Amino acid sequence: MRARHVGIAFSFVLWVILPLGLSVWYLYAVARDQYASHIGFSVRTEEIGSAIELLGGITELSGSSSSDTDILYEFIQSPQIVRSVNDQLNMARIYQRPGDPVFTLGEDTRIEALSSYWQRMVKIFYDRSSGLVEVRVLAFEPEDAKAIAEVVFRESSDMINELSAIARADAMRYAEEELSRAEERLLLSNRSLTSFRNRTQIVDPAADVQGQMGLLNSLNAQMAEAQIELELLLDNSAESDPRVAQANRKIAAVQKLIDEERSSFGGASGVSGVTQYSELLEEYQALQLGLQFAEKSYLSALAARDVALAEAQRQSRYLATHIPPTLAETAEYPRRLMLLSMISGFLLLSWSILVMVYYSLRDRR
């Protein structure tokens, strides 16, 4: 053996054997055992249809909500849940262990350090196709791991309930605001129509015109009868006959009434303050049209509010658990054999690369 062979063997011992031996010693003599608690759940949306849907057999009893699950996936990794767990269980008490600086929580217990350590001890597995979520919690005591898993489930359930409450409140608020605007519009339309009737002293100008038209038609019929009577009298009597004079007076009186009624269509009585019946009729029709539109808008808003209320009452998001928080009996972590395999593979690969670099540089000389 030459000197370079001895150096390579020494480097193998120094680069591979010694770190691997230290790793074995640390993993089996210093590293604390870790217990895992598993919990599995999914976000479900319960939708109970109406009676017609139930009779038709098209109701959807439950389904998953992927968007809510995405929110929940981010929530479990957020500092917010870390703060909640720390407030309820005191993470420093659970994860601080003397003599193990690698796998335990250090002296820094600020929220940033706790969040970083949380990413190591709490793993989330999310299947987007099925919407199933599984959470694995590690701790140095099985009871602590289970307690953390229970808090995670409780906080996640509260967050989903809060999302449901916000969605219901938003839907109801929009419907109530629209109904309030429709009620105000209907009230203003009713007030405007009432003000018109008080001002003109006419309940319905269209009905008033129809009544005047009936009276005018009756006067025209009387006028026709009076003229016929006059023609008959003139055929059989002289113009000096008193009956002819009486017939003329009757015709004149009826004609006067007809003229007055016809003129009334161009001008209303003085108490109204409005001179043109056409203007009255136009104003009344506009008010009546506005009232009809306000009534339809109110009915639509009322129906929308009832639909929103029914949807808010029959739709409910909840967290369905298919794996309750488990209590471990055997310490499965840290995975010592897997960690040693990774460490040895990395050390051997890096040592081989260094040796190859050495021989490559030596061959160039």
Question: What's the pLDDT tens digit per position in 61-86?
Answer: 444 445 788 888 999 999 999 999 99
CB atoms < 10 A from the CB of 114, how many?
19
Residue 347 predicted with pLDDT over 90: yes
Residue 32 predicted with pLDDT over 50: yes
- Percentage of residues of the chain with pLDDT beyond 70: 82
pLDDT digits (tens, 9 = 90+) for 91-111: 999 999 888 889 999 888 899
Q: Which pLDDT value is given to residue 82?
A: 94
Q: Which pLDDT value is given to residue 231?
A: 75
Q: Give the separation between CA 263 and CA 280, rounded to whole angstroms.
A: 15
Peptide bond into 334 cis (omega under 30): yes
Q: Of all residues in the chain, what percent are helix, strand and coil, respectively (each to 5)? A: 70, 10, 20
Instruction: Kindly give, in sequence order, each residue whose CB lies less than 8 Å from that of residue 350, ignoring residues fewer than 6 positions away.
Output: 15
> Which H or E run contains 92?
helix 91-95
Q: Please indicate whether residue 213 or residue 93 has the higher confidence score (pLDDT).
A: 93
Q: How confident is the model at residue 209 (pLDDT cuts 50, 70, 90)?
A: low
Instruction: Kindly give, in sequence order, each residue whose CB lies less than 8 Å from that of residue 122, ignoring residues fewer than 6 positions away.
Output: 76, 77, 135, 136, 137, 138, 148, 152
Q: Which pLDDT value is given to residue 115?
A: 94
Q: What is the mean pLDDT of residues 112-134?
A: 91
Residue 213 predicted with pLDDT over 90: no
CB atoms < 10 A from the CB of 65, how many?
17
Give the total residue count for the chain. 365
Question: Exposed, middle or buried by CB within 10 Å (0-12, 13-18, 19+), for 157?
Answer: middle
CB atoms < 10 A from the CB of 139, how many?
25
Residue 316 predicted with pLDDT over 90: no
Q: What is the mean pLDDT of residues 212-238?
A: 74
pLDDT digits (tens, 9 = 90+) for 243-270: 777 877 888 887 887 776 666 655 444 3
Beta bridge partners, 260, equal: none
Q: What is the pTM of this model?
A: 0.63
Q: Please indicate whether residue 216 or residue 302 has the higher confidence score (pLDDT).
A: 302
b/e map of 184-207 (b: 16 or more CB within 10 Å)?
Answer: ebbeebeebbeebeeebebeebee
Q: What is the mean pLDDT of residues 13-33?
A: 93
